[in-house]
Structure 1
Amino acid sequence: MQIGEVADRTGLSLRTIRYYEEVGLVVPSARSQGGFRLYTEPDVDRLHVVKRMKPLGFQLEEMRELLAILDALAGPAADDHDKHLDRLARFHATAEERCEELRAQLRIAEEFAGALRAHLPHR
């Protein structure tokens, strides 16, 4: 599929997808005869992973590392399979911690909105 369809499916802009290509997070699987980037389902899956990591504050290097771990775990079982699982568990724990931090921030924001609402006249 071409980059426009990938953008539609992921909710990412064309510019963002191209940037992720520049920094090596996703590489088009092929190019058409006309030079258009061609992506596969696994490419789209990688972009979904990156998109989900971004709001949790993961850095580009962390994104690269997690994608490499997921690639390794999807391939044939290797000697370092347990090492990859341990690292994946650490990513999971970090994601859970960051989600809790975001929930705490949301509670504070909701309390603030409620406090403002209390000052509005009832209509």
Structure 2
Amino acid sequence: MGETAGEGTMHIGELAERTGLSLRTIRHYDEVGLLKPTGRTEGGFRLYTQGDIGRLMVIRRMKPLGFMLDEMTELLRIIDTLGGIGSEDPAVRADLDGFIIQAVERRAKLQQQLAMADEFLALLRTQ
């Protein structure tokens, strides 16, 4: 196992530690195409960069809002497009705005659920 990550790269274990995600989750994201390793060592070990951490954090933040894998893939495509040439494409911006609206709506639902959970806890504590 003598390979080491080069400057600016890290193995999957370090990526997992830095993002709080499991190795299994990161490998699953690779399998479904959400996060491809930036490279591989001669021994075939996955290598990741700081940019991959950012991508994983976007995925991690979408999960509690109930976004499905295909929606995550689409949003990551939008983010990649906006970060590159043609970032002012109105259609891409409109797609991003759609995700923003969905995220706001889903966040509001979560807030309602938290409020109900707080009410339930208060009720239990008065018993």
For residues 50-61 of structure 1, the aligned pairs below 5 Å read 50-61=59-70
Structure 1 residues 50-70: Cα deviation after superposition (integer angstroms, max 9, x where no partner): 111111110111000000000
Which structure 1 residue ranges, 5 or more long, are not aligned?
Answer: none
Report how far residue 19 of structure 1 moved: 0.2
TM score, norm. by length of structure 1 = 0.92
RMSD, aligned α-carbons = 1.1
Identity in percent: 53
Shift of 1:95: 0.3
1:97 corresponds in structure 2 to 105
CA distance in structure 2 between the aligned counterparts of 1:76 and 1:115, rounded to whole angstroms: 55
Give the number of aligned pairs.
118
Question: TM-score scaled to structure 2, two decimals?
Answer: 0.90
Amino acid paired to 2:125: R
* Structure 2 segments unaligned to the other structure (5+ residues): 1-9
Matches within 5 A, 1:1-123: 1-77=10-86, 81-119=89-127
Q: Which has the higher helix share?
A: 1
